[in-house]
């Protein structure tokens, strides 16, 4: 009765049956032994000659498959798979188990649950939960990813984004390419140099795409990325996304704050939290706002740099290309003029260098207003 119940739970049909159940309490494991029935060969054809005059020649050695847990018990399926013989062409082959997944030692149900969990949890935690080595889970995941990637068609791909991600200690990075139209990940390559574009181009050809069909690449202002685009995608416009621009701006403001804190001892306490000046208006606490107002009253470089940050942020919020173009030019001019004043020259020099980088990459920055969806998101959002 119990064996029949397990057979129905495994959806074995009438060609396979559960012949034995064994509970190994000390190992917290249930072993389910399955064997073929006399109906196994009904309707089956020889894979070589397509004839149906088949017989069971013998059975292979016993194999094990990980299956779904029963409460806290690990479940293992066991079977000696039959080997069929075609009387006509004499071909012999091992009949595949209908419960077997892409991995020869796990069931389809096991893999389905594992894939679902791995979408929401680290693989190592899934391994502990399912009582299996996480390396096995990685192998299963790679097989499914490769199967899905083989189906991809990039023949219509024209707009992409690329960004580097830190994946381990020791400054190890991967470059991730995404489709800016549907926000899906396309490809990943080790490193963050120009060669990652060569690797992506090779993959592009395999997926029926063409590098010269790419019309737009959203990226940071990395020289290596710019070189990679120029060398491999001659028709692509480089678009520098706001996330990286804001990142560089915050670094510049941090340097302004640091310089002023080192040289002006009387306001050092007001500048002891440099991250304060990287926050947006709506994120400031009342105490933070009071600090900034005090710095304004004292006519500090840090207060001016913070106002410049807010002004640039407002420019990037506009949806008008003309307003953005005029606003950016005016902002760059403002920074240069203030940084040339003797009292600000040393303190605002980091912001001046930042403004010079905007001038150098001006066309790529303005290009973000050519497509409204780039205004609504940035590349970092796409990679989450």
- Residue 383 has a pLDDT of 39
Q: CA–CA distance from 44 to each of 14, 86, 347 (Å)? A: 14, 11, 82
Q: CA–CA distance from 348 to each of 108, 278, 299 (Å)? A: 62, 16, 13
Q: Please indicate, yes or no, whether residues 198 and 303 belong to a single structural domain of this protein.
A: no
Q: Please indicate, yes or no, whether residues 197 and 321 belong to a single structural domain of this protein.
A: no
- C-beta of residue 53 within 8 angstroms of C-beta of residue 90: no
Q: Please indicate, yes or no, whether residues 267 and 344 belong to a single structural domain of this protein.
A: yes
- Residue 253 has a pLDDT of 92
- Residue 166 has a pLDDT of 85
**What pTM did the predictor assign?**
0.72
Task: Say how far apart CA 335 and CA 313 lie, in whole Å.
Answer: 14
Residue ranges of the chain whose pLDDT lies below 70 = 1, 170, 266, 371-384
- Residue 333 has a pLDDT of 97
Q: Please indicate, yes or no, whether residues 217 and 294 belong to a single structural domain of this protein.
A: no
Instruction: Please identify, among 183, 215, 240, the residue that sits at the C-terminal boundary of a domain.
Output: 240
- C-beta of residue 344 within 8 angstroms of C-beta of residue 301: yes
Task: Say how far apart CA 158 and CA 325 lie, in whole Å.
Answer: 25
Instruction: Please identify, among 189, 217, 240, the residue that sits at the C-terminal boundary of a domain.
Output: 240
Domain that holds residue 147: 101-151
Q: Please indicate, yes or no, whether residues 229 and 248 belong to a single structural domain of this protein.
A: no
Q: Please indicate, yes or no, whether residues 366 and 254 belong to a single structural domain of this protein.
A: yes
- C-beta of residue 32 within 8 angstroms of C-beta of residue 75: yes
Q: Please, what's the largest Cα pairwise distance for the chain? A: 98
Instruction: Please identify, among 99, 117, 143, the residue that sits at the C-terminal boundary of a domain.
Output: 99
Provide the token pair at 174. Answer: 């991967």
Q: Please indicate, yes or no, whether residues 266 and 378 belong to a single structural domain of this protein.
A: yes
Could you tell me which residues come within 8 angstroms of residue 239 by beta carbon, excluding any fewer than 6 positions away? 216, 217, 218, 219, 364, 367, 368, 370, 374
Q: Which single residue is written with the structure tokens 């600000």? A: 344
CATH, residue 198 = 3.30.420.10
% of the chain exceeding 90 in pLDDT: 68
Provide the token pair at 277. Answer: 């000046």
Q: Please indicate, yes or no, whether residues 133 and 168 belong to a single structural domain of this protein.
A: no
From its phi and psi, is residue 208 left (phi > 0), alpha (psi between -120 and 50) or beta? Answer: left
Q: Please indicate, yes or no, whether residues 341 and 326 belong to a single structural domain of this protein.
A: yes
Q: Please indicate, yes or no, whether residues 377 and 252 belong to a single structural domain of this protein.
A: yes
Q: Provide the domain count of the chain.
A: 4
Closest to 241 in 3D by CA, of 322, 161, 325: 161
- C-beta of residue 81 within 8 angstroms of C-beta of residue 97: yes
Q: Please indicate, yes or no, whether residues 251 and 366 belong to a single structural domain of this protein.
A: yes
Q: Distance between alpha carbon 121 and the CA centroid of its chain, in Å?
A: 14
Q: Please indicate, yes or no, whether residues 300 and 367 belong to a single structural domain of this protein.
A: yes
């Amino acid at each position: 009765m119990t064996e029949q119940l397990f057979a129905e739970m495994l959806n074995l049909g009438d060609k396979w049956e559960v012949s034995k159940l064994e509970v190994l309490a000390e190992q917290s494991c249930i072993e389910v032994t399955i064997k073929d029935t006399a109906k196994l060969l009904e309707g089956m054809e020889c894979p070589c000659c397509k004839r149906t005059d088949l017989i069971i020649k013998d059975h292979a050695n016993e194999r094990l498959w990980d299956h779904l847990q029963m409460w806290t018990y690990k479940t293992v399926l066991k079977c000696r798979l039959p080997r069929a013989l075609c009387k006509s062409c004499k071909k012999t082959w091992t009949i595949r188990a209908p419960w077997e997944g892409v991995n020869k030692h796990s069931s389809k149900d096991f893999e389905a649950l594992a894939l679902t969990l791995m979408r929401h949890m680290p693989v190592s935690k899934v391994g502990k939960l399912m009582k299996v080595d996480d390396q096995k889970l990685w192998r299963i995941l790679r097989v499914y990813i490769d199967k899905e990637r083989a189906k991809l068609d990039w023949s219509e791909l024209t707009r992409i984004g690329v960004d580097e991600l830190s994946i381990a200690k020791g400054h190890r990075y991967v470059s991730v390419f995404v489709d800016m139209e549907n926000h899906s990940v396309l490809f990943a390559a080790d490193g963050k140099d120009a060669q990652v574009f060569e690797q992506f181009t090779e993959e592009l050809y395999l997926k029926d795409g063409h590098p010269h069909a790419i019309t737009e690449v959203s990226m940071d202002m990395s020289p290596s990325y710019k070189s990679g685009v120029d060398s491999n995608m001659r028709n692509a416009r480089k678009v520098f996304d706001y996330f990286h621009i804001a990142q560089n701006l915050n670094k510049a403001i941090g340097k302004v704050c640091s310089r002023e804190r080192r040289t002006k001892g009387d306001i050092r306490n007001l500048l002891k939290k440099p991250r304060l000046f990287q926050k947006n208006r709506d994120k400031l606490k009342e105490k933070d706002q009071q600090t900034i107002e005090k710095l304004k009253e004292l006519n500090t470089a840090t207060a001016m740099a913070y106002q410049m940050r807010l002004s640039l942020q407002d420019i990037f919020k506009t949806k008008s290309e003309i307003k953005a173009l005029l606003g950016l030019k005016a902002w760059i001019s403002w920074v240069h003029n203030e940084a040339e004043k003797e009292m600000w020259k040393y303190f605002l020099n980091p912001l001046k260098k930042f403004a010079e980088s905007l001038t150098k990459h001006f066309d790529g920055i303005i290009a973000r207003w050519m497509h409204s969806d780039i205004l609504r998101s940035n590349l970092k959002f796409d990679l989450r």
